[in-house]
């Protein structure tokens, strides 16, 4: 059974976007995964097809209504797929969580807009809030695409060579080591001798040491996490 992604959004025309290109696009063509969208506005009940209202207690912006979003979620056939809400206040997405999602049958992703989503639908429909970083976007659609790109590329067979992702950043808890290729010299800069030595043990040791050094310099929080 292929991986199924269902996106609830006010802007279905944004999909598949870049997911229809390159690795993910080819994987979709092969049937390794599928993508469907649900227009949240289709569940509005007034002539203006309104989906939001002013925040209770006052304040700026508008909030997605729980009755309309709840009906949109309920329109999806009941299954065991996790229900995600892309949100800057969510738990940060990690490569480990990406792997967990890829091991499942698919995901249902709610793309928020405006000031946010009524908390009652988050609680009532068991939405898992997920963040792709400490910044705010105009809506959840770009974040949903990024999450799906990360998941689809690790589905079996998508990268062709299953070893392609072994040494990537975060797979081992460290950032990835530097890469080099031909020409042997470029603008006076050369490839480290160890990489052309043919000694695979030394090469692996160098890569690990470089990954450790880069991680310590740029993401010391990852080093601390490995020590726990």
- Say what the pLDDT of residue 106 is: 98
> Is residue 55 located within the same domain as residue 103?
yes
> Is residue 102 located within the same domain as residue 127?
yes
- Say what the pLDDT of residue 124 is: 97
For the chain, the average pLDDT equals: 94
* Residue 57, pLDDT above cutoff 90: yes
What's the domain count of the chain? 2
Span 153-172, average pLDDT = 75
* Residue 166, pLDDT above cutoff 60: no
Q: What percentage of the chain exceeds 70 in pLDDT?
A: 96
Span 26-30, average pLDDT = 97
> Is residue 58 located within the same domain as residue 147?
yes
Which residues constitute the domain of residue 13? 3-152
CATH number at residue 184: 1.10.1270.20
State the pLDDT confidence band at 142, using cuts at 50, 70 and 90: very high
> Is residue 128 located within the same domain as residue 45?
yes
- Say what the pLDDT of residue 23 is: 96
Span 177-191, average pLDDT = 96
State the pLDDT confidence band at 161, using cuts at 50, 70 and 90: low
**Residue 11 in domain:** yes
Span 94-102, average pLDDT = 97
**Residue 17 in domain:** yes
Domain boundary among 152, 176, 200: 152
As a three-state string, the secondary structure of the chain is: CCEEEEEEECCHHHCCHHHHCHHHHHHHHHCCEEEEEEEHHHHCCCCCCCCEECCCCCCCCCEECHHHHHHHHHCCCCCCCCEEEEEEEEEECCHHHHHHHHCCCEEEEEECCCCEECHHHHHHCCCEEEECCCCCCCCCHHHHHHHHHHHHCCCCCCCCCHHHHCCCCCCCCCCCCCCCCCCCEECCEECCHHHHCCCHHHHHHHHHHHHHHHHHHHCHHHHHHHHC
- Say what the pLDDT of residue 170 is: 76
């Amino acid at each position: 059974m292929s991986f199924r992604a269902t996106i609830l959004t006010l802007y279905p025309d944004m999909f598949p976007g870049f997911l229809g290109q390159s690795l993910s696009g080819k994987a979709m063509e092969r049937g390794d995964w599928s993508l469907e969208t649900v227009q949240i506005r289709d569940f509005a009940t007034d002539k203006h097809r309104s989906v939001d209202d002013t925040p209770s207690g006052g304040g700026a912006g508008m909030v997605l209504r729980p009755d309309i979003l709840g009906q949109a979620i309920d329109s999806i056939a009941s299954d065991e797929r996790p229900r995600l809400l892309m949100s800057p206040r969510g738990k940060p997405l990690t490569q480990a969580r990406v792997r967990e999602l890829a091991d499942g049958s698919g995901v249902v992703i709610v793309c928020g807009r405006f000031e946010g989503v009524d908390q009652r639908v988050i609680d009532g429909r068991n939405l898992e809030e997920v963040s792709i970083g400490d910044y705010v976007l105009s809506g959840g659609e770009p974040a949903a695409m990024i999450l799906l790109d990360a998941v689809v590329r690790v589905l079996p067979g998508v990268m062709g060579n299953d070893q392609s992702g072994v040494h990537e950043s975060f797979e081992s808890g460290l950032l990835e080591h530097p890469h080099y290729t031909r020409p042997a010299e470029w603008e006076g800069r050369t490839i480290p001798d160890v990489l052309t030595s043919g000694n695979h043990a030394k090469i692996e040791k160098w890569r690990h040491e470089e990954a450790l050094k880069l991680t310590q310099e740029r993401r010391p929080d990852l080093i601390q996490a490995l020590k726990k």
